[in-house]
Amino acid sequence: MLTLACCSGVMVLPCRVILGQEPMAISEIIPIMSFFTTDLSTITHGIQLAVAPVFLLTAVAGMLGTVAGRLGRIIDRARVVEDRIEAATMDDPMTAAYKELAGLRARGRLVNVCIALLTFCGILIGLTIVVLFLSETTELQIFRVATLFFLSGVVFFLLALVCLLVETVLATRILNFGKRSASGRKPRA
């Protein structure tokens, strides 16, 4: 917040006065204010540049919702299997249940890695938006940083897709689709 002090032409920053520092003259403030552009077309172009990565950010948000839903289903199924193991008698080894629980644990780890990758992707895409806007509306020449952030975000997104694919393959490998087990009876749900 800027305020004028008297008629002396000195622009006073309240924090400088509080700290006991000399007030800055208007001639010192102008270079700071010219750091940001006031050209409407430049600002509009900066917004257009910054909006493009938002579409990837939307995809990341949608995928985060999907993956979080899968994690919830994995946790619910693991609780059911754990309850079945706890309710089993001592003479029942529950080998299939422990095997399913191990598979659920592996799937849960993959989904957690996927969520972490998507979160990092979202952060990098958000930083890309900020850097693109600042590059366009200020004198900062940081387009290379924006490129690095954007490409890193895309790599994280692709790795998250690979994690989701592997988790989906693991999920379908444990399905029996009504096949009978070696003992001749249908597997329990």
Tell me the pLDDT tens digit for each residue of 84-118: 988 888 888 788 889 999 999 999 999 999 999 99
Judgement on whether residues 76 and 152 belong to the same structural domain of the protein: yes
Give the structural domain span for 92. Answer: 40-173
> How far separated are the first and last CA of the chain, in Å rounded?
66
Work out the pLDDT band at 27, boundaries 50, 70, 90: low
User: Is residue 84 one of the residues assigned to a domain?
Assistant: yes
Q: Convert 31-42 to b/e letters by CB count within 10 Å (16 or more is b).
A: eeeeeeeeeeee
User: Is residue 184 one of the residues assigned to a domain?
Assistant: no
Judgement on whether residues 118 and 58 belong to the same structural domain of the protein: yes
Tell me the pLDDT tens digit for each residue of 49-91: 667 788 889 999 999 999 999 999 999 999 999 999 888 888 8
User: Is residue 90 one of the residues assigned to a domain?
Assistant: yes
How many whole angstroms separate alpha carbon 127 and alpha carbon 57? 11
